[in-house]
Amino acid sequence: PALNAASGMSRSFQSALIPRQKTLSLSGFIAEGAGKDGGDEDDDEDGEDCLGTLRSLAAAGPSRRYNFASVEFLSLRNCGRGETLVTDATLRNLAAGYGSFLPNLKRIDVTGCKNVTSLGVRAMVKALGDNFEGLVQTRMGETQLCKDMRVTPATIKAVAAAPNLKKLDLILPTKCKQTSLAPLENHAKLEKLTLVFEGFHAIRLPLSLPNLKHLSLTACKWTYFNWAQLVTRTTSYLRLKTLTIVDEYDSGGVNRSDISSLSCNCLIGALHSGLLRGGKSGHEDGTDNENGVLIIERIGRRSPLWAERRSLGHLIQMCKTDFGVTIDVRDEEAMNSVHVGTDNLDDPLEW
């Protein structure tokens, strides 16, 4: 009770602090405590206040009831919505003192923190050094405005400098240009890349990501993202196991050309180029690799792939027999349109 009174922490936050857990979320605590006393909007003080509870808990006496030594992932998701509690100063303070109470911190989520810029991200990357493995700064709902998105080319450059970067989940607004992903080129450790293309520019994927295993691409209806890149720019993703596709190309969006849109021919071309190819290809140790998995999460109603949805049965069969790739179409309405009669498929959903 004394600790609770001293730190002002909420019951929901107390229940989240389980010893030896690897994930710590401050989202609920900051959302409940934000703005109760009006607050001082000074950047440095806000950053200090956000970490006050962590410091109190880390020095909670001999029992050490709350031990953050095992925490590897810190979520500040949505902590900055409508408030200035999580800012670049917060990350600078965290970077300066993380070793004393979050010694094994590897990844951080600052989604929805509108006052966090590349400066705060750079401070974290520099402080954690070889320990830094990932950043999440992605979409908060489908109605988020580009002006509220903080990922910039400088953000990407900052995280790309981390030698052991393994997981990256970003939403790319109009501030990001065609070549903004270039700093990730040939990154040796990056294993999982999740990108949401929200801006107007046709951003190019890196040509080579030698250790990439999982790639997720979401093209919003306002972006000019070129799906043909799956054929032309991903031939060096030799270890890729999973490709997840979300195409939100729908009414009210931009007018993409058929060439740059998602289609059956685009996917077949990508598979012909070696994307998601199973077997020993690209593995120096010669060990067998499980079949690649192509996940089609959602298809926009203006996408060529939607117009060709009756051919998905043929694509499913081709993936299985010609490429050794498992395909998982999760758009139920599209799958209900699959023509099975001439495909010799008992049930296309099996693949």
Q: Cα separation of 272 and 274, whole Å?
A: 5
Cα angle at 195 between 172 and 242, to 5 degrees? 170
Q: Please give the pLDDT value at position 267.
A: 93
Of residues 53 and 307, the one with the higher pLDDT is 307
pLDDT grade for 183, boundaries at 50, 70 and 90: very high
How far the first Cα of the chain sits from its last, in Å, is 55
Q: Please give the pLDDT value at position 349.
A: 42
Q: What is the pLDDT of residues 120-172, one digit of tens each?
A: 999 999 999 999 999 999 887 655 666 667 899 999 999 999 999 999 999 99
Q: Cα separation of 220 and 199, whole Å?
A: 8
Beta-bridge partners for 193: 168, 215
Residue holding tokens 């969006």?
253
Q: Of 15-24, 137-146, 181-190, 214-223, where does mean pLDDT reach its minimum?
A: 15-24
Q: Cα separation of 262 and 226, whole Å?
A: 8
Q: What is the pLDDT of residues 318-334, one digit of tens each?
A: 888 889 899 999 998 88
Rounded to the nearest 10°, the torsion over CA 102, 103, 109, 115 is 70
Residue holding tokens 């890149």?
229
Q: Please give the pLDDT value at position 195.
A: 96
- How many CB atoms neighbour CB 122 within 10 A? 20
Q: Cα separation of 21 and 59, whole Å?
A: 18
- Beta carbons of 325 and 351 less than 8 angstroms apart: no
Phi, psi of 224 (to 5 degrees): -100, 30
**pLDDT score of 68 more than 80:** no
pTM, two decimals, is 0.82
Return the amino acid letter for 55: R
Average pLDDT, the chain: 78
Strands of 293-299's sheet in order across: 23-25, 73-75, 107-109, 134-137, 167-172, 192-197, 214-219, 242-247, 293-299, 326-329
Q: Cα separation of 346 and 331, whole Å?
A: 19
* Residue whose C-alpha is closest to residue 117's, from 175, 31, 58: 175
Beta strands in 192-334 (DSSP E): 192-197, 214-219, 242-247, 293-299, 326-329
Q: Cα separation of 281 and 215, whole Å?
A: 18
CA 339 vs. chain centroid, Å, equals: 34
Of residues 158 and 49, the one with the higher pLDDT is 158
Token duo for residue 186: 């040939």
Q: Cα separation of 324 and 278, whole Å?
A: 6
- How many CB atoms neighbour CB 155 within 10 A? 26
**pLDDT score of 37 more than 90:** no
% of the chain at pLDDT higher than 90: 41
Alpha helices in the chain (DSSP H): 2-7, 11-16, 27-33, 43-58, 88-101, 118-128, 153-160, 229-232, 264-272, 304-307, 312-318, 332-335
**pLDDT score of 42 more than 50:** no
Q: Please give the pLDDT value at position 52.
A: 59
Beta-bridge partners for 247: 219, 299
For 172, the enclosing helix (H) or strand (E) is: strand 167-172
Rounded to the nearest 10°, the torsion over CA 27, 33, 36, 42 is -60
